[in-house]
Each structure stands twice: as structure tokens, then as C-alpha cells.
Structure 1
Amino acid sequence: MKHFYTLIFLFATYFTFGQTSPDKYDYFVQFNGNQLSKKVSINEVLNHPILTKYISKKPDFDLRQYTSIIQLDQKITIHGNFLDSVPFYQVTIPIKNKEAVRQYLIEKQGANGKNSTIEEFGKYAVFTPSGVKRSFVWNDNYLVIFELTKRLPTKFYDSPGGPPILNDSIVATETYEETAVEAPQVYDVPQAPNPPKIAEPSVMRDEPMVADVPAGSAETAEQDYLYDGNPYEEYTAEQTEFDKKLAEQQREIIKGLFENGFTTPSFSKINASADISSWVNYGGFMSSFYSLYNYPLALFGGYDKYLPMQKNFGNFIKGINLDFYFDNDNARIEEVVEYAAEIASVVSKISDRKINKNIFNYFPSEKPLGYVSYHANTKAALENFPSLMTELFQNPKFAKEDITLITDLISTIVDEEATAKLFDGDLSAFLYDTKEVEVMTKKYDYDENYEEKITEEKVKKDIPLFSVIFTSTHPTFGDKLLQLGVRKKVLVPNGNSYTVVGTQEYGDIFIMKEKDVVVVANTKDYFGSGKGSFAKEAKKDLSKNYISGKLDIAQTVKTFGKKAKDSELDRMTKISSQFSDVSIESPKKLIDNKLKFVFKLNSFKSDKNIILQTLDLAEEMTSK
């Protein structure tokens, strides 16, 4: 009967795995070799001098040995599940020759030798190395590396209450009795008319003490902890049986994949136009991460029950795409976050902010070394915060009414409109240049008597010139806060600004507030009154993006490398002559509930693919 149920289980696994929806993967990565091979020759990359130089020292890392097996100009995929009842991973590789795979496994993996044998099944062949669970499966066109990743559950998780705990307290089995004992007679001392009685507790000498444990617990404890044999042997037997069933299950799944012809995996979330495209189920990812903070709290009092449920994270974000592009003049990463419909409507309100134009009066006229500008609707974020928290903290331990009571209380106490005026949502930061300043520093030393002595001396150092600008439309809070700083002697009035005490080493940082704009900086030399080429360009970018930033690599290296060592300056100069800048931007508008972030590295050159440019640079920097 046991074998009958095992067969039923394997059949169910075979059927359900074969019928798995292609949109149920928890992660999917696709190397679009057909796309990238149009931009750069794979052989040119693998035979680059810096790689061949490295391979000459470590031949095991020679990727060229796989070019005779793998079709690198085709799609290679990695996908799997870590939440499903059948967790697995699968790597699918297009191959040139079935026999080439066989020879590789025989020569490099020890197949048909001491490390297990290759099994032939007509349409496909399977090799599972000894001591591992992954299987190599291939037919005329594809090599698949497959493994079920399910693990044997520990006893901690098998028993909801954990291992039984024995109490050390002792209980009496009978009521307390007093036994009268006559006082011993003492000679030469007259006895009292009524000698006193001395009370003693009765002691059960013939009955053993009994531990205070619930009925049946002692037997359970004995089964769990008082093994007749070696407990490790029991675990090993259990693990062996588990591995055996898992191997049978894996064989059935492989049979289902190849018996009627192998179908290459595909996924609707993958971007075929990217050079490398990937997708991860955010809810599934957070479920894996959930155990990191869930387990410790489960040990100490079971407080994990009051944490946000892992599935709630998936109700916020459906998934995240990471797409990589390698062109001649740039390399970029596009991160696309797909929100649930309700959350997307909230995010779109937060990201679509109308910028306070007064902030542009403090933008520099000319392009700075670097900047980042962020603009979000703080009021919309505060207004939607209670509903987001209600969704996040939905938990069997909390009734929905309990959560709404708390969020309503927060909404009552916090005036969203007034609070939003403290920081409206406009924030910009700029890095302009460096400046040499003379500052007093303390030196600690010891005299001839080994007593500490402190001396002060003036030294010259380069400090970065910067500014941080944000808007606050609250009518009184900002001014009152500045006056508080003056009264507490943290700020010193200086014309239309306030100098922060003790910041001479950083170039005398000051705070300036004009109308609804607050500036924290250490220079006033770069404010451009909203005019100039950079201010116009920034306005244009920020009309479409709620985040925009850029770092000029060449100018930054030139500015901060003035006092660098020759060797360091040489490396920095080579980088700055190759790459012009790195930028980040994120559009205001969501498309199909998706918010995009773009990270881009731009190159001065465009005569060859940026991958080859990077390898050329690495070779140049490592050559002597």
C-alpha cells in the first residue's frame, strides 16, 4: 500500500509540474545571446588579451572550452521556484552537438567512471553525479541542469510547539499532615504538666517524586530524547529515505520535460529586446527574506506572529524587472517595479509632483561636478500612509478593526496638510568644486615623562563645496527653528543666513531661508537665480522625471585628484578619459502600474561595444 501511494504522489507531481503555468515562476533570467551577438562578437570578448592572460594562469576558468558545446548566440535561461510545493531551479542551454556534451561530462565530470554513469532514454540522456542532487539532461538541441531544492524539514518546524519542555518543580501527591511527636524526656529537669507537641511533615519514603508534566508528555519526551540507539543514525535514515523519494520525483519531472519533446522555457515578464533580462517575484523574495527576522522572534516568545505577513509584501509589489543593455556608447540598467493596481495609484500621486519653481533660483548656472534632484508629493504620501499600513499589517493576530483604529488615531493626531508643509517634497543636492582652507587641528603626543600633551597647529586641506536645497511652505516653523538654534548658541546670525557653530573645518556651513526655500551649504558662489544653461536643462529633465541626477566622472577626477598619488591619479585619469558620466533618472508617470529607474554609464568613445571598451581599460590599467 505504501508503494501504491508513492506512485500516486509521483504521478501527481509529474502531472502538476508538466501543467505549471509559465507565469508562475518566482524568478527568471534570460541571456539574450541572439540580441547581444549583434552588438559584439562573443569570440572577440572571450579572446580578449586580458582574459587570455588570466586564463594562462588559471586554465580551469577558460570559457573558450565551452564554445564548441554551447550556442552563445542563442537564448540561455535560468528559472525556478522557491515558494511552490515543488521548489526547483533549471538552467537551459542551447547546444551545438549532443556528443560534445557527453564527452565533456566524461572528461570533466567523471561520467561513466567512479562518478556514476550516463543513463540513455532514447530521446534524451541523464547524468546525475554521485553525492549531488542536480542532474544534467540533454537531447540533440539543449542541455538542462535541473535540481529539486526541497530540504528535509527539521523537527523544530514539524512540532508547532517546539520540543517538549520538562518542568523541574516537585508536587506532593498527598495533603500535608501533622504528626504529633512527644518531646524527649530530660533527666533532672521537672516536666511540664502538658509537654508540647512538635509538628513534623509526613514524608513518603517508599514513593518516588513525580515531575509536574502534562499527561503523555513524559512518554513523548522519552521518545524524543532517550533514544535506544544513536540519534544521528535515526536522522541519517530519515534523510536517506527523503533523498530517495526526492530523486524519484526528480526523475519523473525530467521524464515529463523530455519524453514528448523538450519545450524551451519562456516568460511573459522577460524583455526580449534587452541583452540580459531578469524578473523576480517580490512576494516570493520577501518570503525568503522573512525567515531571517521571523525565526529569532519565534524563538523569543513567538513575537513573529505580530509581524507583517510575508504575503502582504506581494500585495504591494508584484515583481521587479532588471534589464541590462550594452551598447557602443553606454551601458545601462533599467529597473522596472510593477505595483499592484491600488498601490500603483498611490505611487503615481506621490511621484507626480508639481515642483516649487522657487527652488530653481538656487540651481547653478553652469553644470556642477554632480547633482541629484528628487521631487515627491509629501502630502499624498502622508494621506495614503494609513491605508498602506492597514494593508501591510493585515495579520490573523490583529483584527482589521484593530488596525483601522490605530491608523485612524494617527490620522487624527497628524495633520497631513500641515505636516507636509514642513517638507513639501523638493530636495536637490549639488557638488561644485573643492576649496583649500586653513584649519586648526589638535595633535596628541607624549612628553619625556610619558604625559599626554596636546598641541594645536594650522594645516591646509581641500574641502568639497556643496549645497543641499529643499522647500518648506510652513509659515512659521522654519523661522522659529532657526531662532531656537540662535538661542541655544548652535547658530550664529550672519546677514541673511545663519552659520553653524563648529563647522570651520568644513568651510563654515550655513543655513539660509528665503521665503519657502531652505539652503544648507558652505558656499554662495554658485547660485544662478534660475538662469544659465544647466538650470534650463535641469528644468526640462525634471518636467518628465521625479528623480534626476548625474556625476561628471572626468571633471570629478580632475578636481579631487590634484593631491592624489601618481599611481592612483594615473588609474583615475584612465577611467575619466574612457567614461564621461554616470546618471540616474526615474519618470513621473507609471505605465501599466510600472515605475522605471534607469542607471546609465556613458562613454566618450563609440567605435566599439562598451564591453570591449571596459576590457581594454582593465588591460591598460593592469599593464606595467
Structure 2
Amino acid sequence: MKQLYFLFLLFASTLTFGQANLDKYDYFVQFNGNQLSKKVDINQVLNHPIITKYTGKNPDFDLRKYASIIKLDQKITIHGSFLDSVPYYQVTIPIKNKEAVNQFLVDKLGAGAENNTIQDFGKYSVFTPKGVKKSLAWNNEYLMIFELTKRLPTKFYNETSTVAMDSVAVVDYYENDTIVAPAYGDPTVSVPSPPKMGKPSAKEEPIVFNEPAVATDAVQEDYLHEGNPYEAYSVEQAEFDRKLAENQSEIIKRLFENGFTAPTSSKVTIGADISSWVDYGGMISTLYAAYSYPMRLFGGYDKYLPMQKNFGNFVKGINLDFYFDNDNARIEEIVEYSKEIAEAVSKIGDRKINKNIFNYFPAQKPLGYMSYHINTKAALEKFPSLMTDMFQNPKFTKEDIGIITNLISTIVDEEATAKLFDGDLSAFLYDVKEVEVMTKKYGYDENYEEKITEEKVKKTIPLFSVVFTSTHPTFGDKLLQLGVRKKLLTQVGNYYQILGTKEYGDIYILKDKDVVAISNTLNYFSQGSGSFVKESKKDLSKNAIFGKLNISQTVKAFGQNAKEDEMNKVTRLASQFSDFTMESPKKLIDNKFKFVLKLNSLQTNKNIILQTLDLADDMMGSK
């Protein structure tokens, strides 16, 4: 009966192995070489002076040696799984031909000599270097680097029974346990469980692999012992590694014997030069094991923590895409929410900006600024339900947590609380200024007692302001009056001056109805007019977050007092890049939130990758 059951499992596993499920990954990274190669010649990058200077001292990082075997103008992918059932990673690289890889491994890694031999299976070849678990497999078109990363679980304690301290217990981790192949190609390879191991006596000597008992495959031997055949291994670890090695070999065989197909994913962005995607739920699963273990160890309090699947229900996946053009480089982060969370995020980002805040925007473009606008009331209203979904766990059901969040909602008036900070926040960097500031110096007198002295010193400080809105009718005014009574503030006309600190000059607080401004200068408020105000209104009509830093002007402003050699670097940097921007649209498309960072160049004669390398080389040469 057992034999029949085993044959049935083997047959089912073989069928499952051949089924393709190309979207089932926990992460997927794709280098779109076919697109990036049209923008920049990879040989120009690899042979750039600053790269060759580094690789000359560190030849192991010289990527030019790989150019002879890799097709850099095609797609290279990295994908894998975080999940405990089948954690693995796979790197897929297009190659020029099979023989080129063979020769490279012989020349560079000593395959067949001091290292393990290359196994030729006709349609494909496999090489597992000594001392590592990953395997390299390739045919005439692709090179694949593959490793199953599952580890033997450590049993630190037993929740149901206690093991005597003077005995050695051997735990069978393989009973009813099946190692399944990764989802790519969906190759499921079930390995039958070995006979259950007994418990050796505490007096028995530990098992040590001194020498192979019989002639065995060198690859298998090194695989088991991580390059050290004399290291003592437990029975469980040795058996676990053996089964893992067999499973890995079987997976490679199944992927190549009928023709290897390069993995693809609909999750990555084809138009990006480099695109990556991660399954948020899978990533949280690995982190959950790390932070829950200490709680589990000391009394089982991990049952009170939020379950990892709750986070996965909120965020389905995160994309990080990179683009490199002649005039700019940008990074786009795209977060895909569940439908319920997307609706909440949309309401939080949908805010009509308080027009009064523009009275405290500068008339002309500052060196840098950032403006952030959210619907605070919507955020407070959605917070209880989000917390209810997030924190439910085996000890607290959704109904249990709902009682707590309902109590909080009853005590906290969302509408009144939201008026303390409505959701408009802007910060500006105007310029720099040399001022005399009072500073404290700490020292010791002749009796070694601490001595504090104050003196005026000249210092270059940034001129800045932070502006936000608060429509609460009384709280702001009462708070300012409290500061006056406690002698933290002094009122001067229509503004208040902060007493004590002079590190950034005199700092003022202005409250004009529902707008509060904190600044160390009063010279840049526009009263709602000027070209910058008009431009900002246009940008913020589409974006919940928008910011810009003028790199050229900022570098010049802060480099005024630099030494001659430093000034050369400052001038070089100011002539290279114009500005750095960030933005996040108000509207979500297909439940996806987007955040964009962009570096703009003043030059367009070559790709920004080469521009950056030129800049680094020039600045290092000017030392």
C-alpha cells in the first residue's frame, strides 16, 4: 500500500512539475538590457577611467571579463521566494554560447582541476563549485544560477513536552515534510520521507565526517559539508542537506531537459531600464518570523502580535523602477494597495488646499521647497478600521479589537482633532546668510571644574520657513499665550520671537488666522503673488506631494566660503545637474500609489550614467 501511495505521489509531482505558473514569485528584478543598451554603450561604462582605476586595484570586480560570455543587450532577471515552504533564488542570464561558459569556468574558477568538474548532460551542463550550495546550469542560450535556500529549523524548545537536559533528542523534521520546487515552471518534486530516526544515547560520540566511507560524488560531499569535510554534523543536518541537494538537482533537470524557458513576469515594468517587484506579504512573512521569535521564546506572547497576512492584505506588491536618459535619471516607486486600502488612501490624499497658505509662499523660486497636503480628517476617520484589520490575531479577533477602536473613536472627536493640523504643510529653503550668533563653549578651569562661556561668532546659516494650517478656533492662540507667560516667547507686533536659542539666528512664529509660519526671516512672504506661487498652485493641483531642490544654486550658495580646491568641485557639480524633484499624484490608478524621484541634468550630450561617472572622476582627480 505504501509503495502504491508513493508511486501516486511521484506521478502527481511529475504532472505538477510541468505546469507553468510564471507570476508566482515573491520578488522579480529585470534588467532590460535590450532597452538600456540603446541609451548607453555598456563598454563605455565598463571601460570608463574611474571604473578601470577601481578594477585595477580590485580585479575580482572587473565586469569586463564577463562581457565575453554574456549578452548584455538582452534581459537579465533575478527572482525567487521568501516563503518558508520553498525559499530559493534564481538568476537567469542570456549567454553567447555554451562553450564560452565552459571555457570561462575552466579558466576563471578552475573547473575540473582544483574545483569540481562540469557535468555535461547533453542539452545542458551543471557546475556546483566547492564549498557552496548554489549551482550553475546552462545550455546554448541561458546561464542559470540557482539555489534552494531553505534551512534546517532549530528546535529551541518544545511547547507540549519537556526534554531532559541530560539527554540528546533527535527531532525528525522530515516526517510528513515535502520539499517543493519553486513556482517558476511550477516543478513540484516530492521526496519520500526516510525512516524515522531514533534517539541516540547521551554517551554516544557526536557524528563526525572524517573521511568518506565510500567513493562518492565530490559535488555531493562538498555540498553537505560547506567545504569542510571534517566539520561535525548532526544526523538531521546531514540528511536535510542531502535531500535538499537531490531536490535542487532534480529541479535543474526538469527546467532544462525539455528546453529552458526564460522566466517572465507581468508585475515588472517593461518600459523601465531596470524594474523590480516584491510581494509585500511574502516579504513581511520573513520579517515576522524574526520579530515574533523573541516573543514566542518568552512565554508565547507572539500570539498577540499582528499576523503577517494582515499586512499582505493591505499591500499587494511594490514596484521600484529605474530610468536613465540623457537629461535625467528617475526612480518610480509604485505601491499596489488592496481595493479597500486604495479607497482609504484616495480619500486621505484628496484635499482641497487652504488658499491662505499661499500668502506665505515666496514670490520667486527658493533654493528648495517641499509641500505636502493630506486630508487629516479622512485619515483619522479611517484609522480605527485599518487598525482593526491589522492587529487581529489568534488572541484578539476583529470583534475584540473593534471594541477598543470604537472606544477611541468615541473619545476622540475626529473633526475637532483634524482642525489642530488640517493637512497642509510646506517647507522652504530661501538662501544662506552670514550672521553673528551667540554660542556656548564648554571647558574646564584650572581646578578642573566645568566652565561655560558665551561668545559671538560669525556663522553662515540657512534662511528657512515651515508653514502649516490649523483651523482650530482657540488652540493656537492659547498655546502662543502660554509660551509668553512661561517666557519662552515674546510678542513683537504681529509675530512672536522664540527666546533662548540663537543657533539659527532669531526664529519667529507668525499666526495669521488659520496659517502658522515658523521662520528665521520675514523677508520672503509674498502675500499670494509672484511667479512661484502661480507655478506651485499648478503643481499642487495634481500632486499631494511635490518638492524641488535647485542643485546648482544651492551648491553655489553653500560653497561661497569654500577653499579654492573645494570651490573647483562645487563649480563642477553646479555645472552638471540642475535640480532634484519629487512628486506623488493625488489620484491612484488601478489602486496604485506612485512616488517619483527625478535628477535633472544640465547636459544632454551623453547618457546620465556616463555624466555621473565623468563627474566622479573629475572630482576625485581634483583632490
TM-score, normalized by the shorter chain, greater than 0.5: yes
Quick one: distance in 1 between partners of 2:470 and 2:611?
46
Distance 1:66 1:13, change over 3 A: farther
Q: Distance in 2 between matches of 1:20 and 1:272?
A: 21
Which residue does 2:64 correspond to in 1? 64
2:203 is the counterpart of 1:228: yes
**Corresponding position of 1:101:** 101
- Which residue in 1 is equivalent to 2:379? 381
Distance in structure 2 (CA, Å) of the matches to 1:225 and 1:433: 76
Q: Does the CA contact (< 8 Å) of 1:88 and 1:150 recur in 2?
A: yes
SS of residue in 2 equivalent to 1:114: coil
Q: Answer yes or no: is the 8 Å Cα contact 2:274–2:321 preserved in 1.
A: yes
Higher mean Cα deviation, 13-22 or 402-411?
13-22
Q: In 1, are the aligned partners of 2:540 and 2:546 still within 8 Å (CA)?
A: yes
Counterparts of residues 73-84 of structure 1 (less than 5 Å): 73-83=73-83
- The letter of the residue matching 1:586 is S
* 1:221-258 residue CA offsets vs partner (Å, 9 max, x unmatched): 99989722245758532211111111111111111111
State the Cα distance separating 1:60 from its structure 2 match. 2.4
Instruction: Give me the whole-angstrom Cα distance separating, in 1, the residues matched to 2:14 and 2:130.
Output: 24
Q: What residue is the counterpart of 1:518 in the other structure?
A: 516
Q: Distance in 1 between matches of 2:570 and 2:235?
A: 59
Q: 8 Å contact 1:14–1:252 — kept in the other structure? A: no
Closer, same or farther in 2 for the Cα pair 1:66/1:162, shift >3 Å? Answer: farther
Match of 1:401? 399
Counterpart position of 1:43: 43
Tell me the equivalent position of 2:32. 32
Q: Indicate the residue corresponding to 1:486 in structure 2.
A: 484
Are 2:426 and 1:428 aligned?
A: yes
User: Counterparts of 1:90 and 1:4 in 2: how far apart (Å)?
Assistant: 34
Q: Deviations over 1:204-231 (max 9, x none)?
A: xxxxxxxxxxxxx999799989722245
CA–CA distance in structure 2, aligned partners of residues 366 and 129 of structure 1: 63
Match for 1:555 among 532, 553, 576?
553
SS at match of 2:89: strand
The change in CA–CA distance for 1:70 and 1:485 in structure 2 (over 3 A counts) is same
Q: Distance in 1 between matches of 2:400 and 2:38?
A: 58
What are the within-5 Å matches in structure 2 for residues 402-421 of structure 1? 402-421=400-419
- Secondary structure at the aligned position of 1:71 is classed as coil
- Offset, 1:3: 9.4
Cα offsets for 1:532-585 (capped at 9, x unmatched): 111111110000000000111111111111223433333233222111111100
DSSP 3-state at the match of 1:155: coil
- SS of the aligned residue for 1:338 comes to strand
CA 12–530 in structure 1, closer or farther in 2 if over 3 Å, else same: farther
For 2:538, give the aligned amino acid. Answer: K
Q: 2 CA distance for matches of 1:559 and 1:11? A: 73
> CA–CA distance in 2 between the matches of 1:20 and 1:394?
35
- SS of 1:320 mapped into structure 2: strand
Match of 2:117 in 1: 117
Please say which of residues 433-442 and 611-620 is displaced more in the overlay. Answer: 433-442
Cα shift at 1:110: 2.2
User: How far off its partner does 1:131 sit?
Assistant: 2.5
Distance 1:443 1:589 in 2: 52
Closer, same or farther: CA 571–10 of 1 in aligned 2, 3 Å: farther
**8 Å contact kept, 1:330–1:602:** yes
> What SS does the corresponding residue of 2:23 show, helix, strand or coil?
coil
The alignment status of 1:290 with 2:288, answered yes or no, reads: yes
**Is the contact between residue 356 and residue 426 of structure 1 (CA under 8 Å) also seen in structure 2?**
yes
CA contact under 8 A between 1:14 and 1:253: conserved in structure 2?
no
Equivalent pair of 2:439/2:502 in contact (CA under 8 Å): no
User: CA contact under 8 A between 2:389 and 2:398: conserved in structure 1?
Assistant: no
Equivalent position amino acid for 1:19 in 2: Q
Task: Say if 1:330 and 1:601, in contact at 8 Å, map to a contact too.
Answer: yes
Q: Which moved more, 1:582-591 or 1:281-290?
A: 281-290
Q: Deviations over 1:502-526 (max 9, x none)?
A: 1233222121111111111111100
Counterparts of 2:168 and 2:75 in 1: how far apart (Å)?
A: 59
Answer yes or no: is 1:370 the counterpart of 2:368.
yes
Which whole-Å CA distance do the structure 2 matches of 1:49 and 1:219 have between them? 60
- Whether contact under 8 Å (1:164, 1:221) holds in the other structure is no
> Quick one: distance in 2 between partners of 1:282 and 1:431?
36
State the match for 1:136 in structure 2: 136
Aligned partners of 1:283 and 1:311 also within 8 Å: yes
Q: Which amino acid aligns with 2:418?
A: A
Q: What is the one-letter code of the residue matched to 1:323?
A: D
Distance in 2, Cα, partners of 1:14 & 1:61: 41
The verdict on how the C-alpha distance between 1:375 and 1:231 changes in structure 2, with shifts beyond 3 A counting, is farther
Question: How big is the shift at 1:439?
Answer: 2.2
CA, structure 1 residues 226+477, in 2 after alignment: closer, same or farther (shift >3 Å)? farther
1:263 to 261, 264, 272: 261
Within-5 A mapping of 1:353-364: 353-364=351-362
CA, structure 1 residues 34+516, in 2 after alignment: closer, same or farther (shift >3 Å)? same
* 1:64-116 Cα shifts (integer Å, max 9, x gaps): 11111000000000001111622111100000011000011112222222322
Separation of aligned partners in 1, 2:4 and 2:156: 30
What CA distance in whole angstroms lies between the structure 2 residues aligned with 1:523 and 1:583?
Answer: 25
Q: Does the 8 Å contact 1:421/1:472 carry over to 2?
A: yes
Residues 495 and 3 of structure 1, relative CA distance in 2, 3 Å threshold: farther
Checking the alignment, whether the CA contact within 8 Å between 2:307 and 2:391 is kept in structure 1 is yes
Q: Cα 1:507–1:10, aligned 2, differ >3 Å: closer, same or farther?
A: farther
Question: C-alpha distance in 2, partners of 1:221/1:247?
Answer: 21
8 A Cα contact 2:26 2:282, kept in partner = yes
Contact 2:437 / 2:505 at 8 angstroms: preserved in 1? no
2:610 paired residue number:
612
**Cα distance, 1:426–1:119 mapped onto 2, change above 3 Å:** same
Return structure 1 stretches of 4+ with deviation > 6 angstroms. Answer: 1-11, 217-226
| Contact kept? 1:10, 1:249, Cα under 8 Å | no
Alpha-carbon contact 1:328-1:609 (below 8 Å) kept: yes
Deviations 1:442-476 (A, max 9, x none): 33444455555443322111211111000111111
**How many equivalent residue pairs?**
573
- Residue identity in the other structure for 2:128: T
- Structure 1's 390 and 455: CA in aligned 2 closer, same or farther, altered over 3 A? closer
**For the residues of structure 2 that align with 1:407 and 1:279, how far apart are their CA atoms?**
34
1:62 corresponds to which letter in structure 2? D
Q: Mind listing any 5+ residue stretches in structure 2 that lack a counterpart?
A: 172-197, 209-231
Q: Is the 8 A contact 1:10 1:248 kept in 2?
A: no
Over 3 Å counting, the alpha-carbon distance change for 1:453 and 1:292 in structure 2 is same
TM-superposed deviation, 1:20: 5.0
Matches within 5 A, 1:491-510: 491-510=489-508
Change in 2 beyond 3 A, CA 1:156/1:262: same
Letter in structure 1 aligned against 2:548? K
Closer, same or farther: CA 247–463 of 1 in aligned 2, 3 Å:
same
Whole-angstrom distance in 2 between the partners of 1:538 and 1:369: 14
1:403 maps to a residue whose letter is: I
State the distance in 1 between where 2:476 and 2:546 align.
27
Unaligned runs of 5+ in 1: 167-216
**Residues 521-536 of structure 1 aligned to structure 2 (within 5 Å):** 521-536=519-534
TM-score calculated relative to the size of structure 1: 0.87
Cα distance in 2 for residues equivalent to 1:524 and 1:254: 69
> Secondary structure at 1:374's aligned position in 2?
strand
Aligned to 1:239: 237
Q: Distance in 2 between matches of 1:163 and 1:315?
A: 37
Structure-2 residue corresponding to 1:176: none
Is this contact kept in 1: 2:170–2:236, CA < 8 A? no
Partner SS for 2:250: helix
**CA contact under 8 A between 1:14 and 1:256: conserved in structure 2?**
no
Distance 1:390 1:370, change over 3 A: same
Q: After TM superposition, give the deviation of residue 477 of structure 1 in Å.
A: 1.1
CA drift of 1:598 comes to 0.4
RMSD of the alignment, in Å?
Answer: 2.4
Q: Secondary structure at the match of 2:130?
A: coil
